[in-house]
Amino acid sequence: MTEHVWSYGATSGHLPGTDLTGWKVEATDGRIGKVDKHSDEVGNAFLVVDTGAWIFGKEVLLPASTVTRVDLEEQAVHVGLTKEQIKGAPEFHSDKHLAEVQRREEIEAYYRTGGFF
């Protein structure tokens, strides 16, 4: 994974400009949902994943560095996290996460201190 939490890794296969909305999201131990929103912005890239019924409709914000592989043929995004790690992630609220720097820092801290990087 990349050193910068909000950037895609060079080996992820992510192609800037590719619309990932609606793509499947695969954790290391199975499918967790689909991409609801995403950002390709350099240094501020992320996925918002709708986990559906799996964890009661919770949406989570995954920094781009969690992406290990983008499968263009299968339209799937693979992340280097388990279902349990994603389940424990802070719930996504667009009014807080996209606008408040402090909230983004809390999310970054979750992924950094959780041993994921």
Domains of the chain: 24-113 (2.30.30)
Contacts for 86 with CB less than 8 Å, ≥ 6 apart: 27, 32, 49, 51, 60, 62, 79
Predicted local distance difference test score (pLDDT) of residue 44: 85
Predicted local distance difference test score (pLDDT) of residue 1: 41
What tens-digit pLDDT sequence spans the chain (117 residues)?
A: 445 888 999 999 999 999 999 999 999 999 999 999 999 888 889 999 998 876 566 888 899 999 999 999 999 999 999 998 888 887 777 766 566 677 777 788 888 776 444
